[in-house]
Structures are given as structure tokens and as C-alpha cells.
């Protein structure tokens, strides 16, 4: 069975800086694949290239059997590839429900409808409410998104990614800035989601990574230095030196 | 949420009613000048409502919106000059020309952002200004007098000031209603989302360019209609209608009235033009007051009149 | 041929004038991220000050020098009183606020000097034609504009490229936050930069005063061209502004001079005389539109976020 996401020899430079260096990853359907690495390793650049925000200099990306290397962002979303953002990128002046409803609307055909009130359409509002319920934000649905806490923003991010009923989620540091309680909630949520979606997870939070990942790829300076099952990675000396060592030092 | 009796709702209703009753007041002995002044205010309010669609709701800062006033106006003026007085020909031409211009200008400008977008829209407006100013046949710099207003079937007579006022008012009401429906529709959600966060919109699957372009064209057409009305109102068109400072006036109306609210521009148009009238009665150097006033609004009352009204609460 | 050389020099002179205006604009935009529509008002003030002060002192040079100082002063006061409150705000806020300033300045000038405009006569020693090539004569004054402008451009280059202040300016143009983080007295830097821009605008205004115009509204006409140049050259880039300004000056001047004749070769005389002035004016905007469509960040963008 072919992999859902196949990345081959991806490369990207910014001037003199190599952000992505001959990177190849294969992710089969149903897997939760974590990508870890020190800061500057090119993890966000990788997600940007996978989602279509950046165009790679060379290499190929295949999703669900089609070559999407040059496909623009909206088209990738239509194919079932959704992403969340590391830095909060929401519609802050719209309500929480409006935010998610927009994500639903994006996959509900074209939007050249000028007359009917969008906020009254159940075919948009119901799936939006369902996604909000999944992440536990139902109580906040009528507040402007700017009124939410940081942790709730991360939840909203997830809800929006889910609302488009994707086949695969690209999650860019969903735990960023979350306290212990919120992190635990997020991990539990992701564990549930794992059952129905394929997930590429970029994260720094090692506890979460080892709790969730089926496979882990380690990135340093844009290139893959190791890839395999979590126990293999944990025991890999090279990885420990490059990355996990400093993580343990930080977390004591 | 504010209920039906909020200060804002009451003000809006009273205002719209007052506008409808103005000609009655004039008939009963009020100054005829009021009718002329408010006809102009209503027409420009319509132009401001159209600008607010792309500026307030869409976040597209166009500094060349007055160009459509000129296009609509010159469509009427040029056709009248050639002996074609039928409104059934002039007005559709005005709308079609505005749509075409908006399509071209939008297609080229909407690929850019921020100040580049401002400059491109401004540049296109100036181009139109210079082209029209160079057309000696249609008056060039001096402008073109219109000797006969747009003709429709009996009993519609645009030369009847009261009738013309009500036609303009009806079209203003229709524009406000249209913009209100558009803004709350699925299309409007896309436009608002694009204003809020265009990258996110594209990431979740919306090809935002085509929606913004469509919105841009709708706004242009609406403003073109206002231009046709303006030409009839002043019986005169000139390139000055399209000069970039006129676009600035429209932006002032939108911001003064309150962006992101459908009726806001009406407040703004009334406020600006009434202010202009009253201040120029006091001193001929009234813009010395208007300038800093605008500055103060930008710094301290950014939500405009609409924003201030929303803040009023009954005890 | 002599006509062509003369028009080229005119184009160069116009371009250099535009450069001084655009340089101030692009500096302020690049470093403070401020869209200043009222930059044209400073240009107008420079011209009005020069006309009044030369008449008052009886000396061209003295009047001009005082006008320059006066404009610099007005610019710095403007920065402290108004511009400071606009930094960091939306560009729309800048556009609106500075538009309000235009109205204010126009009316104030009208109040003080009346609506008719002024004139600034040239002293006799500048009024004579100078022989630059055998058989080719050019106005001494226009020649001095070119010389002064080039000197200013060179001075600006030296300032930006070779001094500490210039380094801060260049750093600020590509990364505003860093300069603040470096602990430099940002407020003072901003005031000085704005003042420099104002002085340049005033200089452009007073230099063109004897040969073009001193009237209300002159700022509104020229500011658009200055913005066009800033955009073509790339915001924050003085080098870009220089190249774009010279290019625009030449295209505009040569276009207006020779385009009608070119048109007459392909169109009927009637059509040509109708189309020529309109198309000549359009040339610059067409140019900007083409540049932006092909290279949306301008030719020499300083890489600002």
C-alpha cells in the first residue's frame, strides 16, 4: 500500500542558509509521525513546503498518489492536507464559531453566494460546532477569538484543522506555550485523533512526542540524521548528542 | 449584544426617517438649498458605502475609488454630449464601464499588498484622470456641461429636484441593503476572513484572489452608479471628480463614519459635508480645523461615529 | 540634436529634483514605516519660505539658506508633535492622518500668503545661459540645480554608506526592531531622519520655485510622483530611489517632448494631438504598474518585512 505522504529529496535554501537539505520522509496512512530537532533545524520550513506556503528549490512531494510539489495552498487543503500554525494565525476579530465555520465553508463548494445569511446556515454551523466540541471549546463559541487564552487558541487551531475533514494533519508545535494541564489535555485529544487521521507532528515537548509517536524523524540543520521507532531514536547516540542530550539537561 | 433600543439603532432609524422626510420639510418652507445639499450628501454616501465594502469589510485600502465616480459620470456626460440622453443607455454603460475598469485595476493591483496596493490603485486613478483631462472633445481640463439629464419613461423626471432626491435616496437604501446582505453571506464571510488573515484563508482552502476581485468589481459598479447620479445632480462632469484627493475625501467619510459597519459611511458623508457647510460659514479657512480634526479622529476615535454610538449605554 | 541634449538635461534635472523628494520619503518609510502624504506639504513650505525670505532679505542665497533651515525646523516640530503618535499604527491611519495634515498646511499657507501663489525671481547671475558644448547652451540655473542635486546625492551616499548614523539608518531600513534593541536613542534618530527628509523636500521645493511654481496644491501634484518613484525603486532603498527618479525624470521629460511627434507618425494629426498629452502623463503610472506587476517589491527592495 503506497504511503499517504511521500517526500523525496526536498531542498530549500534562503540565500546562504540551507533550510532543507536532501530531505526524504515517507508516512503511511494512520501513522503519527513526529519530527523533532533543535531550533533552526528547518521543521517549520518543512511544514511550510508541505502545506504550500513555500515552494521547494528541488525535490518532490506526493500526497495520496498525486504530485503536489507545485500545487498552491488552497488546492492542497482541498485534497485533504490540513495544517495548524505554530504562531497563532486565527481570525482574531471574528468569533470563535465564525473561525471554525470558515474552515467548514472552505470545503462546502464555492462561496459565490451573496444573499443568504451565512451564520444561519446549519450545514456550516453544525460541523463547526462539532469540531469545537471535539476540542472542548463549545462554551466559548460566541466570543471574539481575540478574547481566548493562548491555550484556547491552540485548541481553536486544532478545531479549524479538523473542520476541513482532512485525511492528514500537519501540526506545527501544537503544545507551544501550554502549561502542564493543557498539554495533557492536548495529548489526550491527539491520541483520540490518531485513530482517524494521519498526523505529522512537529514538537519540542519530548514527553508528548514519545507518548504519541509511531515513528520519529530527527532533523538537524535541515537534514535527516535519524528516523525510526521511538525506542530506536531514544537509544541513538548521534541523536542524543545532537539533541536529546540538551533536552534532558534542560528538563533536569 | 445591543438590543433594538440601543443608541445606535435609534440613531440609524431616526436618521433614515429624517432623510426620507427632508423634502416634506423643504416643501413646508424649509430652505431649498437643503435639498440640493442633501442630494449631494446622499450620492456621496452611496459612493462611501461602496468603498466601505472593500475598505472596511475587505481590508483593501483603495486610494483610487473616486475614479468610478468619474467613469460613471463621464459615461453619462459623454453620451449626452453625443446626443444620447436615454438613461436606459447611459446608466448601463456607466455600470459596465465601471465594472470593466474595476476588473482590470483589481486584477493588476490585488496581487500586491499594503502601500503597494494603495499606490497602484492611486496610479490607475491618476491615469484615468490624465486621459480624461486630455480629451479636448469632452471638455478636457475644463469639464463638460450636461444640458439634459438622463431620460427615462414618463413620469420619471430627473430635473424635478424632489423626485431626483427620492430616486437617489431609494438607490442609497437599496445599496445599504445590498451591502448588508453581501457582507453577511458566505461571500461576505470570505471577504471578512481575507481582511482578518489572508494567509490563513488560503491555508484553509479559499482561493482568495477571485473573491477579492469580485468584491472590488461590485464596489466599483456601485460607485459608478453614484457617479452617474452625481453627473445628473451637478449637470456637469470634470476630471477633478477623479483626482486622488477626492478618493481621500471618500476614505475620510468611511473612517469618520465608522468602518466595518454598513451604515457608518452614511454617518460619515453627512458629518463631513455638513461640517464643510457649517465650518465654511464660520471661516473660509475651515480646512484648518478639518485637518487636525481628522488627525484627532484617527488617534482617538478610530471607530468613527458608529464606534462612538456603540459605546453609548443607557444608565 | 541640440534639442535632444537639452531635453535630456531637463529630464536629468527633473529626475534629480524628484530624487530629493523621493529620498526623504523612502527614508522615512523604510526606517519608521511611516507613510507620509504630507511630505509634499514640506516641499511647498520650502518654496514659500524661499520666495518670502529672498524678497525680505534681498539676497537669493541668504533667502534660500534660511528657507532650508526653516523647513528643517518645521519638519522636526512636525515629527515630535504628530508623527511620533503614528509609529506602529496601521498604514491606513498614516494615510488618513497625513491627509489631514495636507488640508491643514494648504489652508494655513492660504491664510498667511493668500490664494494667488508667489514668484521667486532669479538673480541675474543665474539667469544667463551657459555654453556646455560647442553651440549648445543651457540655463545656468538649471545647470546649478543639477550640480547641487548631485552634490546632495553624493553627500547622502556618504552619510548613509560611510558614517555611523548612516549605518543605523541602513540597519533600521531592513530591520527596525534590531536597531531599537541595540539601545540606540531611537527617538532622536527618528527626529533627525524625519528632519533630513523634510530638508530634502524643502530643498527640492525651493530649487524648482524660480522655474516652475510656488502655489498651494503643488505638494499634492508632486507627491504622487515621489511615491511612484519610491515604489519603483523599492521602499527603503535610496539607491533605488536615485535610479528610479532619474529614469522617471527622463521618461517623463523626453516622453512629453517627443511622444507627440512619434504619435503623429502613426496616427492622424487630430488623433495625435488628442492622445499625446494624455498618454504622456500616463507614461509614468504605466511604468510603475509594469514594474509592480513584474517585481512586486520594487527594483531594489531593502528587504523589509
Q: DSSP states of A6-33 as a string?
A: EEEEEEEEETTEEEEEEEEEEE-TT-EE
- Does B227 score more than 60 pLDDT? yes
Nearest residue to B42 via CA among B234, B218, B181, B173: B173
B and C make contact (3+ CB pairs below 8 Å): yes
**pLDDT per position as a tens digit, C229-267:** 888 888 778 888 899 999 888 888 888 888 777 777 777
A1-80+166-252: CATH superfamily: P-loop containing nucleotide triphosphate hydrolases (3.40.50.300)
Q: What pLDDT score does C245 carry?
A: 92
**pLDDT per position as a tens digit, C50-105:** 999 988 888 888 888 999 999 999 999 999 999 988 888 888 888 888 988 998 99
Contact A98 B199 (CB under 8 A): no
CA distance C193 to C170: 12
Q: What pLDDT score does C172 carry?
A: 66
Three-state secondary-structure class, residue B151: strand
Work out the mean pLDDT of chain A and round it to a whole number: 86
CA distance A72 to A52: 6
Run of H or E residues at A35: strand A32-36
**pLDDT per position as a tens digit, A43-68:** 888 988 998 888 899 999 999 888 99
Chain C residues touching B298 at Cβ < 8 A: 93, 96-97, 100
Q: What pLDDT score does C179 carry?
A: 67
Please state the ipTM of this predicted complex: 0.82
Question: Number of helices and strands (H, E) in chain A?
Answer: 10, 10
Q: Taking a C-beta distance cutoff of 8 angstroms, is the pair C219, C244 a contact?
A: no
Contact C93 B248 (CB under 8 A): no
Q: What pLDDT score does B1 carry?
A: 45
Q: What is the mean pLDDT of residues A201-209?
A: 88
Listed range (B69-73, B245-249, C4-8) with the worst mean pLDDT? C4-8
> Which of B54, B243, B248 to mutate to test binding with chain C, by most C CBs within 10 Å of its CB?
B248
CB contact B187 to A (< 8 Å): yes
Domain ranges of chain B: 33-246
Q: What pLDDT score does B315 carry?
A: 45
- Does A251 score more than 80 pLDDT? no
Q: What is the mean pLDDT of residues A61-87?
A: 86
- Does B313 score more than 70 pLDDT? no
- Residue whose C-alpha cell reads 431626483 in the numeric block: B164
- Does B47 score more than 90 pLDDT? yes
Q: What pLDDT score does B4 carry?
A: 59
> Which of B115, B276, B293 to mutate to test binding with chain C, by most C CBs within 10 Å of its CB?
B115
Q: What is the mean pLDDT of residues B242-248?
A: 89
Q: What pLDDT score does C78 carry?
A: 94
Chain B residues touching A90 at Cβ < 8 A: 197, 200
Q: What pLDDT score does C305 carry?
A: 32
> Measured between CA atoms, how close is A57 to chain B, in angstroms?
21
- Does C205 score more than 60 pLDDT? yes
Nearest residue to A223 via CA among A3, A52, A9: A9
Chain B residues touching C227 at Cβ < 8 A: 119, 122
Q: What pLDDT score does C43 carry?
A: 94
Contact A98 B189 (CB under 8 A): yes
Q: CB-based burial of residue A78 (10 Å sphere; 0-12 exposed, 13-18 middle, 19+ buried)?
A: middle
> Measured between CA atoms, how close is C127 to chain B, in angstroms?
32
Residue A83: left if φ>0, alpha if ψ -120 to 50, beta else—which one? beta
Work out the mean pLDDT of chain C and round it to a whole number: 83
* pTM as predicted: 0.84
Chain C residues touching B291 at Cβ < 8 A: 100-105, 107
Using N-to-C axis directions, what is the helix angle for B7-27 and B264-282, rounded to 10°?
A: 60
Chain A CA closest to residue B177: A115
Most confident segment among A108-112, B227-231, C129-133: B227-231
Nearest residue to C43 via CA among C195, C224, C206: C206
Instruction: Name residues whose C-beta falls within 8 Å of residue B271's C-beta, 6 or more positions apart in sequence.
Output: B253, B256, B257, B305
Contact C224 B123 (CB under 8 A): yes
- Does A252 score more than 50 pLDDT? no
- Does C153 score more than 60 pLDDT? yes
Q: What pLDDT score does B275 carry?
A: 86
Q: Taking a C-beta distance cutoff of 8 angstroms, is the pair C47, C209 a contact?
A: yes
Domain ranges of chain C: 6-119+139-294
Q: What pLDDT score does C304 carry?
A: 38
Domain ranges of chain A: 1-80+166-252, 92-165
Q: What pLDDT score does C18 carry?
A: 92
CB contact A118 to B (< 8 Å): yes
Neighbours, chain C (3 or more CB pairs < 8 A): B
Contact C276 B116 (CB under 8 A): no
Run of H or E residues at A227: strand A223-228
Chain B CA closest to residue C95: B248
**pLDDT per position as a tens digit, B3-13:** 557 888 888 88
Q: What are phi and psi of B82, to 5 degrees?
A: -85, 5
- Does B145 score more than 60 pLDDT? yes
> Which of C276, C278, C294, C296 to mutate to test binding with chain B, by most B CBs within 10 Å of its CB?
C278
CA distance A81 to B101: 37
CB contact B197 to A (< 8 Å): yes
Work out the mean pLDDT of chain B and round it to a whole number: 89
Neighbours, chain B (3 or more CB pairs < 8 A): A, C
Among the partner residues C111, C231, C285, nearest to B288 by beta-carbon distance:
C111
- Residue whose C-alpha cell reads 531600513 in the numeric block: C173
> Measured between CA atoms, how close is A234 to chain B, in angstroms?
34
| pLDDT bucket at A39, cuts 50 / 70 / 90 | confident
Instruction: Locate the DSSP E strands across C134-186.
Output: 136-139
Establish whether the linkage from the previous residue to A237 is cis, with ω within 30° of 0.
Answer: no
Q: What pLDDT score does A15 carry?
A: 79
Is domain C6-119+139-294 given the CATH code 2.60.40 in the classification? no
Burial A27-60 (b: 16+ CB within 10 A, else e): beeebbbbbbbeeebbbbbbbbbbbbbbebeebe
Burial C207-226 (b: 16+ CB within 10 A, else e): bbbbeebbbbbbbbebbbbb
CB contact B301 to C (< 8 Å): no
Amino acid at each position: 500500500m503506497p504511503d499517504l505522504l511521500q517526500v523525496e529529496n526536498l531542498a530549500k535554501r534562503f540565500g546562504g542558509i540551507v533550510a532543507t537539505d536532501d530531505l526524504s520522509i515517507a508516512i503511511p496512512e494512520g501513522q503519527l509521525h513526529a519530527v523533532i530537532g533543535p531550533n533552526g533545524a528547518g521543521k517549520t520550513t518543512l511544514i511550510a513546503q508541505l502545506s504550500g506556503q513555500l515552494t521547494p528549490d528541488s525535490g518532490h512531494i506526493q500526497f495520496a498518489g498525486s504530485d503536489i510539489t507545485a500545487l498552491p495552498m488552497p488546492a492542497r487543503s482541498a485534497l485533504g492536507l490540513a495544517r495548524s500554525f505554530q504562531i497563532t494565525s486565527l481570525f482574531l476579530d471574528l468569533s470563535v464559531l465564525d473561525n471554525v465555520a470558515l474552515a467548514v465553508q472552505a470545503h462546502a463548494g464555492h462561496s459565490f453566494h451573496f444573499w443568504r445569511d451565512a451564520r444561519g446556515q446549519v450545514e456550516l454551523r453544525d460541523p463547526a460546532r462539532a469540531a469545537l466540541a471535539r476540542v472542548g471549546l463549545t462554551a466559548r463559541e460566541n466570543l471574539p477569538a481575540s478574547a481566548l487564552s493562548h491555550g484556547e487558541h491552540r485548541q481553536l487551531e486544532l478545531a479549524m484543522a479538523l473542520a476541513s475533514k482532512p485525511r492528514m494533519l500537519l501540526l506545527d508545535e501544537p503544545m507551544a506555550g501550554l502549561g502542564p494541564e493543557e498539554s495533557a489535555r492536548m495529548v489526550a485529544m491527539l491520541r483520540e485523533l490518531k485513530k482517524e487521521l494521519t498526523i505529522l507532528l512537529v514538537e519540542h515537548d519530548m514527553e508528548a512526542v514519545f507518548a504519541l509517536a509511531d515513528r520519529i524523524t530527527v532533523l538537524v540543520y535541515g537534514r535527516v540524521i535519524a528516523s525510526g521507532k521511538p525506542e530506536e531514536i531514544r537509544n541513538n547516540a548521534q541523536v542524543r548528542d545532537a539533541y536529546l542530550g540538551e533536552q534532558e539537561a534542560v528538563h533536569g | 449584544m445591543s438590543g433594538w433600543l440601543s443608541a445606535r439603532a435609534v440613531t440609524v432609524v431616526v436618521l433614515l426617517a429624517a432623510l426620507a422626510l427632508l423634502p416634506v420639510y423643504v416643501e413646508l418652507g424649509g430652505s431649498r438649498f437643503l435639498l440640493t445639499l442633501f442630494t449631494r450628501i446622499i450620492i456621496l454616501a452611496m459612493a462611501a458605502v461602496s468603498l466601505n465594502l472593500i475598505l472596511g469589510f475587505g481590508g483593501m485600502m483603495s486610494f483610487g475609488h473616486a475614479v468610478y465616480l468619474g467613469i460613471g459620470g463621464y459615461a453619462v456626460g459623454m453620451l449626452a454630449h453625443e446626443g444620447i440622453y436615454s438613461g436606459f443607455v447611459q446608466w448601463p454603460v456607466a455600470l459596465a464601464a465601471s465594472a470593466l475598469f474595476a476588473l482590470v485595476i483589481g486584477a493588476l493591483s490585488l496581487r500586491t499588498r499594503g502601500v503597494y496596493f494603495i499606490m497602484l490603485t492611486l496610479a490607475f486613478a491618476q491615469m484615468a484622470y490624465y486621459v480624461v483631462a486630455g480629451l479636448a472633445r469632452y471638455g478636457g481640463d475644463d469639464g463638460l456641461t450636461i444640458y439634459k439629464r438622463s431620460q427615462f419613461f414618463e413620469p420619471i423626471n430627473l430635473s424635478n429636484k424632489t423626485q431626483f432626491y427620492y430616486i437617489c435616496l431609494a438607490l442609497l437604501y437599496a445599496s445599504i441593503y445590498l451591502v448588508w446582505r453581501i457582507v453577511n453571506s458566505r461571500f461576505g464571510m470570505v471577504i471578512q476572513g481575507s481582511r482578518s488573515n489572508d494567509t490563513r484563508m488560503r491555508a484553509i482552502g479559499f482561493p482568495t484572489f477571485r473573491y477579492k476581485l469580485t468584491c472590488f468589481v461590485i464596489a466599483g459598479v456601485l460607485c459608478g452608479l453614484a457617479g452617474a447620479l452625481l453627473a445628473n445632480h451637478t449637470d456637469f462632469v470634470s476630471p477633478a471628480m477623479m483626482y486622488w484627493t477626492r478618493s481621500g475625501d471618500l476614505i475620510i467619510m468611511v473612517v469618520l463614519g465608522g468602518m466595518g459597519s454598513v451604515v457608518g459611511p452614511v454617518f460619515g458623508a453627512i458629518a463631513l459635508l455638513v461640517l464643510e457647510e457649517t465650518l465654511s460659514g464660520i471661516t473660509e479657512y475651515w480646512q484648518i480645523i478639518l485637518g487636525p480634526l481628522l488627525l484627532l479622529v484617527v488617534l482617538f476615535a478610530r471607530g468613527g461615529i458608529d464606534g462612538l454610538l456603540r459605546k453609548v449605554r443607557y444608565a | 540634436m541640440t534639442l535632444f541634449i537639452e531635453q535630456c538635461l531637463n529630464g536629468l534635472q527633473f529626475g534629480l529634483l524628484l530624487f530629493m523628494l523621493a529620498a526623504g520619503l523612502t527614508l522615512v518609510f523604510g526606517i519608521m514605516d511611516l507613510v507620509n502624504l504630507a511630505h509634499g506639504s514640506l516641499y511647498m513650505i520650502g518654496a514659500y519660505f524661499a520666495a518670502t525670505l529672498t524678497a525680505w532679505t534681498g539676497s537669493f542665497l541668504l533667502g534660500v539658506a534660511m528657507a532650508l533651515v526653516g523647513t528643517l525646523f518645521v519638519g522636526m516640530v512636525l515629527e515630535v508633535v504628530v508623527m511620533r503618535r503614528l509609529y506602529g499604527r496601521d498604514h491606513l491611519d498614516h494615510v488618513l492622518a497625513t491627509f489631514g495634515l495636507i488640508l491643514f498646511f494648504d489652508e494655513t499657507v492660504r491664510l498667511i500668503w493668500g490664494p494667488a501663489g508667489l514668484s521667486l525671481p532669479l538673480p541675474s547671475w543665474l539667469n544667463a545661459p551657459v555654453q556646455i558644448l560647442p553651440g549648445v547652451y543651457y540655463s545656468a540655473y538649471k545647470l546649478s540645480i543639477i550640480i547641487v542635486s548631485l552634490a546632495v546625492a553624493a553627500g547622502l551616499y556618504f552619510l548613509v554608506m560611510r558614517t555611523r548614523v548612516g549605518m543605523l539608518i541602513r540597519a533600521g531600513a531592513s530591520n527596525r526592531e534590531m536597531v531599537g534593541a541595540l539601545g540606540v536613542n531611537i527617538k532622536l534618530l527618528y527626529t533627525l531622519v524625519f528632519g533630513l527628509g523634510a530638508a530634502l523636500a524643502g530643498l527640492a521645493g525651493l530649487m524648482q520655485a524660480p522655474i516652475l511654481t510656488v502655489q498651494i496644491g503643488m505638494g499634492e501634484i508632486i507627491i504622487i510622483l515621489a511615491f511612484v518613484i519610491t515604489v519603483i525603486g523599492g521602499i527603503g532603498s535610496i539607491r533605488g530611489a536615485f535610479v528610479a527618479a532619474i529614469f522617471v525624470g527622463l521618461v517623463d521629460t523626453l516622453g512629453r517632448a517627443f511622444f507627440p511627434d512619434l504619435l503623429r507618425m502613426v496616427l492622424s494629426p487630430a488623433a495625435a494631438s488628442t492622445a499625446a498629452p494624455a498618454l504622456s502623463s500616463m507614461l509614468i503610472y504605466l511604468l510603475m504598474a509594469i514594474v509592480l506587476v513584474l517585481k512586486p517589491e520594487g527594483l531594489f527592495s531593502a528587504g523589509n518585512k
